[in-house]
Chains A and B, each alone.
Chain A
Amino acid sequence: DGGITQSPKYLFRKEGQNVTLSCEQNLNHDAMYWYRQDPGQGLRLIYYSQIVNDFQKGDIAEGYSVSREKKESFPLTVTSAQKNPTAFYLCASSRMNTEAFFGQGTRLTVV
């Protein structure tokens, strides 16, 4: 089946640790996105990428990093510099200037 796969579904991070969230798509989409969702809030853009080996900061990039070495993959690293990382993280992909499709999300909790 074509789609976007995020893993893991749940992730726990200790204070001071870096963690990496996986996002893979087999839709042959050019663009990929990472969003953060906090309870009762909409989606805020962290990073996005239009093509391989290129990505841009979104509205809340501080404390996060990404890479885009393959068209299918766009992993997000939550670094220790992110002071409030507990949230629901959503990955999406799209063709050029069209609607985006989302994965099922990763819920990150700091313990």
Chain B
Amino acid sequence: QKEVEQDPGPLSVPEGAIVSLNCTYSNSAFQYFMWYRQYSRKGPELLMYTYSSGNKEDGRFTAQVDKSSKYISLFIRDSQPSDSATYLCAILREGYKLSFGAGTTVTVRA
């Protein structure tokens, strides 16, 4: 079983829709959760990070963590064509190890 599972999609939505992205993880000891955005042929860019259960908002982005279900989510409101990218969830394991999901490719259609 992979430590982090993420549906690779692809996901296609019309402009203005809400994008919903999800990951599950296997080890309840994981404490630190991140979402990255990656444009083609570029390095991943940190979008959001959190270490507690609940919601964290930053502009159009909301990160949600449910530790009881070992489930993390990212919501993008009012999606724009510029949001078209691959979104990666990441979880910090013990000893500095960062584990990533496979990434979900999102296309926002104008």
Contact = CB atoms under 8 A, between A and B. Distances in A.
Contacts of B45: 102
Contacts of B31: 97
Interface size bracket, B side: 20 to 34
A97 B103 contact: no
Interface size bracket, A side: 20 to 34
A100 B46 CA distance: 8
A97 B92 contact: yes
A31 B96 contact: yes
A58 interface: yes
B46 A45 contact: no
A100 B32 CA distance: 11
Given A102-B45, A105-B41, A107-B41, A45 B32 contact: no
Nearest to B10: A40
A98 B101 contact: no
Given A42-B88, A98-B32, A48 B96 contact: yes
A50 B92 CA distance: 14
Given A97-B32, A105-B43, A50 B96 contact: yes
Interface of A: 4, 6, 31, 33, 35, 40-45, 48, 50, 56, 58, 88, 90, 92, 94, 96-105, 107
